[in-house]
Structure 1
Amino acid sequence: MVKAVLTASIATALAATVPSAPAVPAQAATGTAVAGGARCAVPEEPGRFTDGTGSATVTVTDVDADCLRTYKLVSSVAGERVIKEAPGKPTLRSGSVLLDGLYAMAHDDAELNKTDRLTDGSYNDGKPIDCPGGCYQTGKLWTYVWTRDVAYSADLGLTTADPERMRNTLAFKLSERRDGSGDTQIIQDTGTGGSYPSSTDRVVWALGASEIINWLPDGKRQAFADKAYEAIRNTIEHDRKVVFDRGDGLYLGEHSFLDWREQSYADWTKDDVATIATSRSLSTNVTHWAAIDAAARLAADAGDKSAAAKYRGWADDLMQAVREKFWLPGKGQFSQMLSTEKDTSPVNRYDALGTSLAVLTGVATPQQAKQAVANYPQTPYGPSVLWPQQQGVPSYHNNAVWPFVTAYMMRAAAKTGNDAVATQQARSLVRGGALFATDKENINILDGSTKTALNSDRQLWSVAGMMSMVQQSIFGIDAREDGLHIDPFLPAQLRETYFPGGERAALNDLDYRGHKLNVALDIPAGKAGEGAYQVESLTLDGKEVPAGTPITEKMLGDGESGESTVVVKLAEPAAGSGQKAPKPVDLSSKEALYGPTTPDVRNVTVKDGRTQLSLDIGDENPAKVTMDVLRDGKVIAENVAVGAGEQTWTDRTARPEEVSPCYSARLTYTSSGNTSQHAEPECYWGPGDDRVHKVTGEDFEATGGKKTSGDNGVYYADWGTDPGDKLAARITPKATGEYLLQADAAVGGPINTGVSSGMKMLRVHDDATGELVTERVIAMPNTGSWTTVRGSTFAKAELTEGKTYRIELAQDPLAVNMSYFQHNALYKDTREGPSNYSDVYAIKTLLKRATTAGSKQ
């Protein structure tokens, strides 16, 4: 056993050099040479990691006969940890023991997350649940599988560690219906308002599945591809009918991953989550695009030309809608969301995950991609997952860096050729791993600590993020349908920080479709100040491969060693190719870090034919903020000077006699440009709200349930789950025009979790002819108690003055929450069967726009 010691040292700004291991000659092109050279080299020089918040020492204590190292990491923050490289798993020999050790730590964290049985207190009374073939649990504290966590982990670096275990873990989140009718779909996890359809990012499963398919070997790939296609197809077809808005071409639902609503939405949404269910978020729409794109590719592979063409059309249309509706030209950024049905204007707030996914999927145009990456705000500890921060909200999604999102941002930076941003992301990932001696869930941006509301060691997508930094970004390894593409992105600053003297970096023992592969980067000697090294040539087992040529299975494993080696020769960065690094935000400045508090639109009235808003800017200093006024999804006044506290503002361009306008407002700090959340929309519904027609439970025609009265009025108890349950109301409009239709209901489940959001099909029939006028699934999310009544999501209809319409709420195969799927047969609240109960108190029509003179009230 060879013993050696090395400590890696970096200065406060992570800019000091680290002595490199002896370089392997560039002509060593075979797998054996890479393995026997850089892989077995004995580090000689000590050093240590340090910044203003702590220090860490990485030591190689043993190198065994197979050249596998044992590392000891000692952190002033987290204590000691011993890490051993595992046989058969990839190893890194970069010239920096710090990077090599953190990459080995990620694989060790992944091993610790392996399990054959999963547990969660909400499932199976906390007893273990088998995961056939073995799974990855989500983290040390999260011993179950969540759809988004495992999907993002698979799409990042974790698939390379064990493609088959990743396949099993993803498959755990597929389920047929409990009634035996099949219809395998992707499961939306427990969440806001009872989960689906308030949250709809389950489609991110397709990102992970696509990556896994591209790594699995022959004989295993097609079976999983077939299973994935069935689930993705069923899911996107279902979502198209339930959460797609044909008016703007976008999908409804909460942000992907940012699922703690107080952290990323305005405070007025926290108890009324139907508003969140009607928001359009950037990240979720991009994941819907990814699922539709995957369906188009899988349909083509299956020979289903008609389905492939349909899904490609859906994907193209959605891509265009995202580019047009989320892009903020004046900011050079994508908006985080369009906040709700009554205010579909994009917020001047950003989301690092959504931005990165838009870049990586190609949903963003090349110009949008470059601007979005270059302009996204950075902090000394990395990119906060949302921007700006929200005042008075604890650190979790707010005021936090999440390493998996940082890894996505690094990939996006590599794709856009931004060496400075890529280097910043790498430094954030390295700091987190070194100081905390594990791949933590999140990091507080205020002080760089892990003091956040919830935080777990070895969080699965953070593990994957560390792998991604090395595999996908620096080494440029990208598995696609046609083979393995290798396009390294090594910024000169990154090389100078970690291995300034090293002339070869090698990633060994990748398992690509059952073949062992080593990838080596030959780096020019000397110092390059900025930019990223260019690819000069690429060889496979000593034979040159033309640029851009994918490496296929047939090209691998023919040598005596049974493995293959790719050597990428890098050239100096192109002159002038370096990007300017974004200056980290000053964390001591409130106005630089936070957005203003959310203003309040208290009332909308009409006086002398003009609408007048009563507004309140709260405690904000009027000398430091300006206001934008928004009407029906558009900004109608910008940079308006404001006074303190309550005030009025008059809209001189509205036509309140024809349109029921809905107003919102936002505040902006003049010093930083940081913008508040949008105010809760307030609408003018005519004199005395006479454009709102309400039929209460007293007048319903009902099938099922028991007529009951309470403090909130008359409703039908125990109604909504049986297949024949139905409520109906008759309404005769006083005006012809565009209407919003809504139910007022109580659904007693918790607001922040659950799987049984209230859902019903709303149908409008011409009462005289029986003709179907419109139908739409509406959601009645959990309201927290059976005595709290809230409005549902909306349906839209064109109704004619004087006609009588019958509006029905009924069960339907589309109006199903997640309790209808077998996966949730073990969930604590739905063990006895699907649950879709709603206490409906009223059915309403709201006249949004009149189209006849008689309606000008």
Structure 2
Amino acid sequence: MSVFSSLMLALTAAAHGPLWHDNLHWRGQSASMTIQPGGGFLLQAAHDKRMIPVPPYAVQTASPLFDGLYAMAQDDLRQDSVGSIRDDAFDHGQPMPCTCFETGAKWHYVWTRDLSYAVDLGLWRFDAARSRNGLRFKLSDSRMAGAPKGPFVMQDTGSGGSWPVSTDRVAWFLAARHLLDDPAFADTTWRALTATLVQDRRYVFDAGMGLYRGETSFLDWREQSYPAWMATDVVPIAQSFSLSTNVLHYQALLLAARLAGEHHDARAAEYQAQADALKDAINTRFWRADRGMYMSYLGGDGTPYDSYDLLGIALAIDSGVADAGRARQALANYPVWPAGSPVIWPERSDQPVYHNRAIWPFVSAYALRAARTLDDPAHIAFEITSLMRGAALAGSNMENYELTTEATHVDDGKLSGPVVDSPRQLWSVAGYLAMVSEGVFGLGDDGRIEPKLPVSLVPMLFGNKATISLQLPGRRITLQRPKKLDGNLLVADRIDPHGDDSVVQLKAVTVPELPLRSKVPPFAPPAPAAPDVTRDGANWQVRSSAPGTLYLNGRRVGAIEGTLAVPAADALQCFSVTQAGAGDLESLQSPPRCEGPVSSIEGAWPRAWTAPTAGRYQVALSYRNDHGPINTGVTAAVKQLAIRCEGSPLQTVLVVMPHSAGEQLSTTAQFDAKAGARCGFTLEQGFNMSFLANNAHYTGGAGGSDGPLNDAEVGALRIAPLPAAEGTP
């Protein structure tokens, strides 16, 4: 049976609702749950069995499987609740005291994004103190004299030496917003928020694009989702813009506007204006009308990538960045497989299973939130059953699953995977708990109860019962089944409070249902080689090795098959191509091929140069940064280039030099100069994560226990004119 045939059978079954009372069956595998005499559960998972103790908080439905998996998630959380943490890259692997959550069975540390998403998905309800402790652990002041005062949120070790290649540390504020009832923590959050936003505005915000730069949130294994040629060169990632990190910044700005208002701080209006402008820029830049979805990321010059990720789209919907029309389009157009929703699409045919060809439960939980935002029973039911099935078959809340089977390992030669997986992964645990409290019982972040329960799940959850109930810290929710199921969604008819117990009388309504998109090509074609570009009189002759689309300086020129003539300009012209594939999919972009007049200035600093004509220029540095490997560290070199041109005010631009594999070019910046103006260039200190005091514990590389390090071996200063009327897109 083909993948698509099995998908249609699975989706048809989902439409009628699973009958998962004591067991489920999936692709030749089974899981069953039995209630034990003492009140605990025994799970017979696909390849093992697990005794689950009596949970602190019970759910009572017609399904022992559903009830037992909720108990299992709490047991996973109990095991993730620790008194110390450790990682081989910090304090030489020795334990560090922290009454907090560790990341999983294989990961005994606290990482900013993992903890932040997990707390935002509801761990704050179960252990607020432990959540705050973990979040405090990810804050740090600077250890550099004269540096701005923090505390700052820490960006963990990562691509090219961490921030500002990766910039999703602001996910911290998604979590912190739920814990502001503690005055001391609220004050810490306010100070961290204002300090971190100032720093990001200075170092990663691009005024021309109106967006923040940086890698896709959580999708930080470059080969999995970026073009293969970026595996050894992360400068294009540092230069790029991603949907998810921009939505995170939007949410941080909204929180800043609210808290500034509460503090009677004059910056409230400024934060709100920045948030509004960022929302507009996200919708302008990332929306791809022909796909009906938001793109996952853009090149530094605005080049569109025919690539999409579920977390970014879910965050855009849940945050309100997407209006109702675009939100419904994006969710309906994002594809699903029989087992669940992939975290990226299209997949990569040359990469093993990890982010590629995979389901991540915490992302599925955010997709469930998005589906609830849109009152869509089809996607609500689909994500609930995907989360249940994965946990039941694996016997734990795993980090990820293979896309087509929902297995924790699939043999596929060099593409086997998931390459890395872990039981009781914290954000997966949180995603499962959120599925129960939010997805089934309708408990919102503000404490309001708003069930949106698909009628298709009534046979599993209610069976012949009149009520189902959920116990949580400090409260209990009881849902009462309606007498008639003449609709596709159960919502609240009325809510009767009885002390800490809220009794919700449900009613059935009929709402528009978004289709589950299944018939899509799974793989995009591979990115082609860089185009050949030769000068032929007044034109460039651009030749592509494969039929596809030609882009010039980030803008689409049109179809190319063989050779295409493009008018030459006395300015920098950068060409890239994509390859056409099945279903009109574009490959990821080829490496660029840039042509045009370039000035190369060597020598000691400061350096000087004279502008031949008036206009806008691009500047970059040739450099080498061998302070760490491409995939980790805290020593991405971040410098400011002060440019003093005669007849113009001082211009200061940012230059980032991540860890490199040999000599390469830095990120680019732009400046203006008048004809004949003599310009002086001075390289000044910036800021990187090695400057944070907490990274004195980092023993896995440079810039940690041996002291801050924000440097690179700098070669030529390269300057090229930009086409007139182009400049920043």
**Does TM, scored on the shorter chain, surpass 0.5?**
yes
**Paired position in structure 2 for 1:59:** 34
**Paired position in structure 2 for 1:323:** 283
Q: Paired residue for 1:570, among 488, 506, 514?
A: 506
Q: Paired residue for 1:650, among 556, 565, 571?
A: 565
User: Is 2:690 the partner of 1:819?
Assistant: yes
Helix, strand or coil for the counterpart of 1:408?
A: helix
Cα pair 1:379 1:585 within 8 Å, conserved: no
**TM-score normalised to structure 1 length:** 0.79
Task: Give 1:521's aligned amino acid.
Answer: L
User: Is 2:553 the partner of 1:632?
Assistant: yes
User: Is 2:469 the partner of 1:598?
Assistant: no
The whole-number CA distance in structure 1 between the counterparts of 2:313 and 2:338 is: 20
**Paired position in structure 2 for 1:72:** 42
**Paired position in structure 1 for 2:334:** 376
The whole-number CA distance in structure 1 between the counterparts of 2:236 and 2:313 is: 23
Cα pair 1:599 1:665 within 8 Å, conserved: yes
The whole-number CA distance in structure 2 between the counterparts of 1:12 and 1:441 is: 28
**Paired position in structure 1 for 2:599:** 693
The whole-number CA distance in structure 2 between the counterparts of 1:327 and 1:635 is: 15
User: Is 2:644 the partner of 1:773?
Assistant: no
**Paired position in structure 2 for 1:673:** 584
Cα offset, 1:418, TM superposition:
1.2
Gaps of 5+ in 1: 1-9, 21-45, 64-68, 542-558, 587-591, 618-625, 686-690, 701-726, 853-857
Cα pair 1:11 1:49 within 8 Å, conserved: no
The whole-number CA distance in structure 1 between the counterparts of 2:592 and 2:18 is: 56
Cα offset, 1:583, TM superposition:
4.4
Cα offset, 1:532, TM superposition:
1.1
Cα pair 1:377 1:383 within 8 Å, conserved: yes
Q: Paired residue for 1:141, among 79, 99, 106?
A: 106
The whole-number CA distance in structure 1 between the counterparts of 2:109 and 2:375 is: 37
Cα offset, 1:739, TM superposition:
0.8
Helix, strand or coil for the counterpart of 1:764?
A: strand
User: Is 2:697 the partner of 1:736?
Assistant: no
**TM-score normalised to structure 2 length:** 0.93
The whole-number CA distance in structure 1 between the counterparts of 2:630 and 2:105 is: 26
The whole-number CA distance in structure 1 between the counterparts of 2:512 and 2:654 is: 51
Question: In percent, how many aligned pairs have the same letter?
Answer: 34
Cα offset, 1:111, TM superposition:
0.6
Alignment map for 1:720-759 (pairs within 5 Å): 727-748=605-626, 749-759=628-638
Structure showing greater Rg: 1
Cα offset, 1:728, TM superposition:
2.1
**Paired position in structure 2 for 1:492:** 455
- Over residues 128-154 of structure 1, what are the superposed CA-to-partner deviations in whole Å (9 max), with x where a residue is unaligned? 1112xx100011111000000000001
Helix, strand or coil for the counterpart of 2:52?
A: strand
Cα offset, 1:648, TM superposition:
1.5
Distance of aligned partners of 1:51 and 1:141 in 2 relative to their CA distance in 1, 3 Å threshold: same
The whole-number CA distance in structure 2 between the counterparts of 1:16 and 1:104 is: 26
- Over residues 278-307 of structure 1, what are the superposed CA-to-partner deviations in whole Å (9 max), with x where a residue is unaligned? 110000100111111111111112221x11
Q: Paired residue for 1:280, among 241, 246, 250?
A: 241
Q: Paired residue for 1:810, among 672, 675, 684?
A: 684
The whole-number CA distance in structure 2 between the counterparts of 1:663 and 1:244 is: 25
Alignment map for 1:829-848 (pairs within 5 Å): 829=701, 830-848=704-722
Distance of aligned partners of 1:436 and 1:103 in 2 relative to their CA distance in 1, 3 Å threshold: same
**Paired position in structure 2 for 1:505:** 468
Alignment map for 1:145-544 (pairs within 5 Å): 145-179=110-144, 182-213=149-180, 216=181, 221-304=182-265, 306-341=266-301, 344-451=302-409, 452-480=418-446, 484-508=447-471, 510-511=472-473, 516-525=474-483, 527-528=485-486, 531-541=488-498
Cα pair 1:275 1:793 within 8 Å, conserved: yes
Distance of aligned partners of 1:695 and 1:377 in 2 relative to their CA distance in 1, 3 Å threshold: same
**Paired position in structure 2 for 1:714:** none
**Paired position in structure 1 for 2:659:** 782
Cα offset, 1:585, TM superposition:
4.8
Cα offset, 1:246, TM superposition:
0.3
Distance of aligned partners of 1:104 and 1:15 in 2 relative to their CA distance in 1, 3 Å threshold: farther
Task: Give 2:267's aligned amino acid.
Answer: A
Cα pair 1:336 1:354 within 8 Å, conserved: yes
Helix, strand or coil for the counterpart of 1:211?
A: coil
Helix, strand or coil for the counterpart of 2:708?
A: coil
Cα offset, 1:772, TM superposition:
4.7
User: Is 2:646 the partner of 1:763?
Assistant: no
Cα pair 1:765 1:772 within 8 Å, conserved: yes
Cα offset, 1:13, TM superposition:
4.6
Cα pair 2:440 2:451 within 8 Å, conserved: yes
Distance of aligned partners of 1:19 and 1:436 in 2 relative to their CA distance in 1, 3 Å threshold: closer
The whole-number CA distance in structure 1 between the counterparts of 2:44 and 2:12 is: 17
The whole-number CA distance in structure 2 between the counterparts of 1:393 and 1:531 is: 40
Helix, strand or coil for the counterpart of 1:521?
A: strand
Cα offset, 1:375, TM superposition:
1.3
- Over residues 321-345 of structure 1, what are the superposed CA-to-partner deviations in whole Å (9 max), with x where a residue is unaligned? 101111111211111111233xx13
Helix, strand or coil for the counterpart of 2:716?
A: strand
The whole-number CA distance in structure 2 between the counterparts of 1:98 and 1:16 is: 18
The whole-number CA distance in structure 1 between the counterparts of 2:514 and 2:251 is: 31
Q: What is the root-mean-square deviation in Å for CA atoms of aligned residues?
A: 2.1
Cα pair 2:533 2:593 within 8 Å, conserved: yes
The whole-number CA distance in structure 2 between the counterparts of 1:572 and 1:228 is: 42
Cα pair 2:159 2:633 within 8 Å, conserved: yes
The whole-number CA distance in structure 2 between the counterparts of 1:385 and 1:19 is: 27
Helix, strand or coil for the counterpart of 2:551?
A: strand
- Over residues 30-84 of structure 1, what are the superposed CA-to-partner deviations in whole Å (9 max), with x where a residue is unaligned? xxxxxxxxxxxxxxxx732111141111011034xxxxx301101122x011112
Cα offset, 1:365, TM superposition:
1.0
Gaps of 5+ in 2: 1-9, 410-417
The whole-number CA distance in structure 1 between the counterparts of 2:13 and 2:389 is: 11
The whole-number CA distance in structure 1 between the counterparts of 2:725 and 2:299 is: 27
Number of residue pairs aligned between Structure 1 and Structure 2: 703
Helix, strand or coil for the counterpart of 1:271?
A: coil
- Over residues 480-536 of structure 1, what are the superposed CA-to-partner deviations in whole Å (9 max), with x where a residue is unaligned? 3xxx2211110111223443433212111x23xxxx2111111214555x6211321
The whole-number CA distance in structure 2 between the counterparts of 1:11 and 1:488 is: 23
Distance of aligned partners of 1:234 and 1:286 in 2 relative to their CA distance in 1, 3 Å threshold: same
Cα offset, 1:851, TM superposition:
7.9
Helix, strand or coil for the counterpart of 1:104?
A: helix
